[in-house]
Amino acid sequence: MAWWLWLLVQLVVWCCAGLVAVLWWKWANKPHIDAPGPPTVPIIGNILDFLEMPLTLHKIFDLHRQYGDLTRLYVGPMLLVTVAHPDDVQHVLLTSKLVDRGTLCTNAMRAFVGDGLVTIDVSRWKVHRKLINPTFHSEMMILRPWMQNKFLLQLTSKGRGVFKFVKVMQDWALKCIAMGSAATEDGPTKTRQRLLEALLKPGNQTAMPLDEVQGELMNLLIAGTETTAVTVSYTLALLALHPEWQDAAHQELKDVFGEGDDYLRAPSLADLRRLRVLESIIKETLRLFPTVPILPRMATEDLWLSGGTGRKVLVPEGTLLLVMPFLTHRLPQFFQDPQQFDPSRFLEDRVGKEHACTYLPFGLGARSCVGSQYSRLQLKVYLSDILRRFRFLPCSQREDLDDSALAFSLNPVKPIRVSCIPVDGRNT
């Protein structure tokens, strides 16, 4: 063997040994918590438990049934704790001052949507939220952290496809900024601004760095379309499976819009306020299938949680807390027959009496969804328009809906299928 090849082999061996030693040291000094969780493997923790993708609701439901409302997991030496009980949800999202979502979660999304409310750190988030809030008037890369590296991601065919899509969004955002800058220079001053008007200043200036303005537009484009589309899909599938509630929605639409030529008119705010049955259907859909299934928070200080048992558990600083709304929404002690689709629980005001934090489809606290009110109106408008035109018959089973994948938003593993029948033979 040539001397240089021998040296190269020695270098590789020592580098590998050094890497293993560092990883072992990190594992030996990992944080601990007195909470149950699945068995771990040295250095890699519970990563092997989540190699099978996609990660579905069933997997988390199984962990919850086995280990309870406070479950311990490790991604390498990093401690993750899933949170389900409303007492702990309240402490994490409202009582404490935890607003940092942690780099393990935000880095995974930043590669696709840039810097925006969803992904930026705490210091910049406060500035962005202050600017953006008034404009609204009121495959689990987390478990594969090495795939958060753009270079490694671009080596995969799926990664290259994603970055092509990202380039399209980036170009679109820059065009919007250019158009908005021109309009800002020429347009009159308004007391109530739209989103882009709040981020741009006269003279082609921006209220924050240009890449962050671009990131905000990309964040809101995805958040405002992906979540709405997913919720509409789940709602129509559930109505197809529950014709009694579809009948109730159709009757309410007739009561509000009449049955003449004016039936298909654009809804006014007054019309939308009267759609209580449709609103309860939307709320119940979001209870069973919240489009944002995980609310991450980084523990920037030690805190005590209980998992609903009354026994306090110390959660050490540096833990990534994963609040799971879809678990909280299905706790039987707060929702009778929790697996059942039953919008009457919202019609009869039976939700929220036991605990203020049992229902959180848009999050809670400082980093709750900035567009929650807009999203509720948008869902009512879309669904009232669709249901006035069509009746839906099921082609998917409820089990297909529960077989949904956990990512940045909730999505069914299999495509949702329904049959559409025009209502009363009207033109569509």
Q: What is the pTM of this model?
A: 0.76
Classify residue 102: in a domain, yes or no.
Answer: yes
Helix (DSSP H) and strand (DSSP E) numbers for the chain = 16, 12
In this prediction, residue 415 carries a pLDDT of: 87
Which residues have a Cβ under 8 Å from the Cβ of 119 and sit 6 or more positions away?
101, 106, 109, 110, 113, 215, 219
Give the C-alpha separation, 161 to 288, whole Å. 31
Classify residue 357: in a domain, yes or no.
Answer: yes
Number of domains forming the structure of the chain: 1
Q: Do the beta carbons of residue 120 and residue 219 sit within 8 Å? A: no
Classify residue 389: in a domain, yes or no.
Answer: yes
Q: Which domain holds residue 60?
A: 31-425
Classify residue 20: in a domain, yes or no.
Answer: no
**Which one-letter DSSP state was computed for residue 141?**
G
Give the C-alpha separation, 107 to 160, whole Å. 17
Classify residue 9: in a domain, yes or no.
Answer: no
Which residues have a Cβ under 8 Å from the Cβ of 152 and sit 6 or more positions away?
146, 159
Classify residue 396: in a domain, yes or no.
Answer: yes
Give the C-alpha separation, 333 to 349, whole Å. 16
Give the C-alpha separation, 153 to 139, whole Å. 12
Give the C-alpha separation, 183 to 57, whole Å. 46
Residue 367 belongs to what H/E stretch? Answer: none
Q: What is the CATH number of the domain that holds 112?
A: 1.10.630.10
- Strand order through the sheet with 320-323: 70-75, 78-83, 320-323, 295-298
Query: What residues pair up with 393 in beta bridges, in sequence order?
Result: 419
Q: Is 11 exposed, middle or buried (0-12, 13-18, 19+ CB in 10 A)?
A: exposed
Cα R_g (the chain), whole angstroms: 24
Classify residue 420: in a domain, yes or no.
Answer: yes
Q: Tell me the average confidence (pLDDT) per consecutive run of 10 residues in the chain, 428 residues long.
A: 77 87 90 94 90 86 94 93 94 78 59 52 50 45 59 72 70 68 58 63 63 68 76 95 97 92 90 95 96 88 87 92 94 93 85 77 78 85 95 92 85 88 66
Q: Largest Cα–Cα distance of the chain, in whole Å?
A: 91
Classify residue 1: in a domain, yes or no.
Answer: no
Instruction: Identify the three-state secondary structure at position 248.
Output: helix
